Amino acid sequence: MNILFCSVPYRPSIGGIETVSALLAERFHHAGHGVTLVTQTADGGGEIDDFRVVRRPTDKQLFELVRDADMVFHNNISLRFAWPQLLLQRPWVVAHHTWIPKTGLAGRVKRGVLRHASHIAVSRAVAESLPVPCAVVPNPYADDVFARAGTADRDGELVFVGRLVSDKGVDLLLHALALLSRRGKRVRLTVIGDGPEAPALRELARSLGVAAQVDFAGRRAGPDVAAVLNRHRVLVVPSVWEEPFGVVALEAMACGCVPLVARSGGLPDAVGRCGLVVARGDSGALARGIDKLIGNAAMIDRYRIGVTAHLERHTPERVARAYLQVIEDAHRTHAAQSAARAV
């Protein structure tokens, strides 16, 4: 089957969609399917893919690629890439990694065209937000990068990994550290990532009196992130918005960290029974969660017990098989409908 794989962002850009797109496209290719990936990300002269990648296609190129595909797959729906699909009516599967707004022109149009496709959602929360039936297939993580290093000295306490934007709740985490510090418990935090909120967060740490406890370590690539996770005990994901899933929690668990996450969107699904879930947007609840985990080796060990079984659901091979099952079912259904119309 020739699969046209549409991913608006792609490597060398860094992010969750980029990572998942690379993992899935590679496995679709290795399963014997022809894969052409189209993206709006310019070439950075980096890693070379085993399959064809078309960057920033012209309208003519895009039309021809959709026309020649046996199957069109969108890793997050894109109107930019969908218009030929709506004209040509190829079999279509959309994987939903985030929320589609109910208001605004783009959100209404996206919701309006969903009936033309089959659907995958990365969490129950995302599936329940959509007006169409969805197969729930959780996200994969890069299991060849994120794994426990047996020789790692786990002397770090808390670690945060992500973009430094207001939605991620790092300010709440700093307030939680300040609460604990006032009670005589000084907990150390490493912040991995960068973003527009970085200067304000550094200033907030200073004003709260916790700057000496926080290491703003900047942006890191995958293997470096894995090395940092292997040196820490607890990953904190204090998001204040509804996270659609939370691959970073899987990456942390694979490296031996126990996740402490906000009750936000798909984060509880990502963590399962292998981490602690606290109220969203509450620095006091976050502080209490940190206090429960740090220094409590027995509790951390209990959360680690089910990690291996939990992560088996999230290997790229298993997730890709589940995606391909939905794609193959959609292709068969479209063929049967086309044959019925021809009679």
The CA distance from 55 to 144, in Å, is: 26
- The residue type of 87 is L
Q: Where in the chain is the domain with CATH 3.40.50.2000?
A: 2-140+315-342, 156-312
What is the predicted pLDDT for the residue at 153?
75
What is the predicted pLDDT for the residue at 320?
98
What is the predicted pLDDT for the residue at 243?
94
Preceding peptide of 316 cis, ω within 30°: no
**Chosen CATH of 156-312 out of 3.40.50.300, 3.40.50.2000, 3.30.750.24, 3.40.50.970:** 3.40.50.2000
**Chosen CATH of 2-140+315-342 out of 1.10.10.10, 3.40.50.2000, 3.40.50.150, 3.30.420.40:** 3.40.50.2000
Task: Note whether 257 and 234 are within 8 A (CB).
Answer: yes
What is the gyration radius of the CA atoms in the chain, in angstroms? 21
Splitting the chain (343 residues) into consecutive groups of 10 residues, what average pLDDT does each group show? 97 87 96 98 82 97 98 97 95 97 96 96 96 96 92 86 96 98 97 96 98 96 93 97 94 97 95 97 98 93 96 97 98 90 75
The CA distance from 66 to 60, in Å, is: 10
Angle at which helices 297-304 and 283-293 cross, to 10°? 90
What is the predicted pLDDT for the residue at 151?
62
The CA distance from 151 to 314, in Å, is: 25
What is the predicted pLDDT for the residue at 152?
62
